[in-house]
């Protein structure tokens, strides 16, 4: 009698003959364990369909397929039979309550952009620890004057936008994009600002940031925040942008590695401000600190350039009066 691998299910075409339970040439009783078969779903013990003397036709450790003859049993009455699979007891899977929601077009677009960022760029991240004391003092000192003049409160984002513009002007190789056989240099400063809206992440673009004051930048930010909240951003307000700033700090994030916004060369992630002990002038003092993260496309920028760019941003934030000298 020839012993074959039985059919085990639609998706199982074979497996690994893991171990013989009956040695070659030994006698086996009908129903006794004959060999072990490992599949990609389960391990099975297969038993002899007849009694008789066993002759191995396949070795332990060999891959076998459904229908393949792996042994003979001499003395059996039938000419061919499949080994009998002893199936494990199947415990019904515990069901838990779930529900499904259709994927919205904006969430689908976000998913496509995130996957594209991973697949089409060489995304790498570098970090800096930024002292926020000078910016905080500037905001506090001039808060009333600023709000009276511009009609909005002064936040942190305008300082980072100005710092990014300064760094882009100093290092134009960051203000680029990859275009197959060429590197395209952008000679303008349109900055994308990542904003969390109820329907998903959006990145409205503030154009010509090099020509706008802190007050004008804050007004633009408030304008886009209100439109993002109501879902009324126009398509042309989301297109373009040479660099993105993402503020995870508004949600309490201490550190992250922001994803690139293709085809941009870099994105700055800013985070929550936290008082931490630092060594200054030989003494340990408490200072408000923020971790800043710069993710960049390693096809366009090397580590030296990325770190230098982030250090320029750090320089401006730690001494915002520096902007007045430009």
Out of 56, 150, 223, 298, the active site residue is 298
What are the tens digits of pLDDT across the range 82-141? 666 655 555 566 788 988 888 877 788 888 888 989 888 999 999 999 999 999 999 999
Q: Which helix (H) or strand (E) holds 218?
A: helix 214-230
Q: Out of 40, 129, 302, 319, which one is annotated catalytic?
A: 302
d(CA 233, CA 226): 9
Mean pLDDT for the stretch of residues 209-232:
94
One fold for 2-86 and 105-325: no
The C-alpha angle with vertex 11 and arms to 103 and 59, in degrees rounded to 5, equals 140
Model confidence at 78, in pLDDT bands (50, 70, 90)? Answer: low
How far is 50 from 195, CA to CA, in rounded Å? 72
pLDDT-derived band at 243 (thresholds 50, 70, 90) equals: very high
> What confidence tens digit (pLDDT) does each residue in 158-177 have?
999 999 999 999 999 999 99
102 CB contacts (<8 Å, ≥6 apart)? none
The fold of the 2-86 domain, in CATH, is OB fold (Dihydrolipoamide Acetyltransferase, E2P) (2.40.50)
Catalytic, 302? Answer yes
118 has catalytic annotation: no
Task: Average the pLDDT over 137-163 and give the result.
Answer: 96
Please indicate, yes or no, whether the overall pTM of this predicted structure exceeds 0.75: no
Domain boundary assignment for the chain: 2-86, 105-325
Domain 105-325: state its class.
alpha beta
């Amino acid at each position: 009698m020839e012993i074959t691998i039985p059919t085990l299910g639609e998706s199982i075409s074979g497996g690994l003959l893991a171990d013989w339970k009956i040695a070659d040439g030994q006698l086996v009783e009908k129903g006794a364990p004959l060999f072990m078969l490992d599949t990609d779903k389960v391990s099975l013990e297969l038993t002899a369909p007849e009694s008789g003397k066993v002759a191995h036709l396949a070795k332990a450790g060999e891959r076998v397929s459904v229908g393949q003859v792996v042994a003979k049993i001499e003395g059996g009455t039938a000419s061919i039979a499949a080994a009998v699979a002893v199936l494990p007891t199947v415990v019904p899977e515990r069901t838990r309550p779930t529900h499904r929601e259709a994927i919205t077009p904006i969430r689908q677009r976000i998913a496509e952009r995130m996957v594209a960022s991973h697949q089409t760029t060489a995304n790498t991240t570098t970090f800096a620890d930024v002292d926020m004391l000078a910016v905080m003092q500037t905001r506090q000192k001039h808060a009333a004057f600023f709000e009276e003049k511009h009609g909005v409160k002064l936040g942190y984002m305008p300082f980072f936008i100005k710092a990014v513009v300064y760094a882009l002007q100093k290092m134009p190789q960051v203000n680029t994009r990859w275009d197959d056989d060429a590197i395209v240099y952008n000679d303008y400063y349109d900055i994308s600002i990542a904003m969390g809206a109820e329907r998903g992440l959006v990145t409205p673009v503030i154009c010509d940031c090099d020509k706008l004051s802190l007050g004008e930048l804050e007004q633009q930010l408030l304008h886009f925040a209100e439109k993002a909240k109501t879902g009324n951003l126009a398509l042309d307000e989301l297109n373009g942008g040479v660099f993105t700033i993402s503020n995870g700090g508004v949600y309490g994030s201490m550190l992250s590695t922001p994803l690139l916004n293709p085809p941009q060369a870099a994105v700055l992630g800013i985070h929550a401000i936290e008082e931490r002990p630092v060594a200054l002038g030989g003494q340990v003092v408490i200072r408000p600190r923020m971790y800043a993260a710069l993710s960049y496309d390693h096809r366009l920028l090397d580590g030296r350039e990325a770190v230098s760019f982030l250090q320029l941003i750090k320089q401006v934030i730690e001494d915002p009066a520096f902007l007045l000298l430009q």
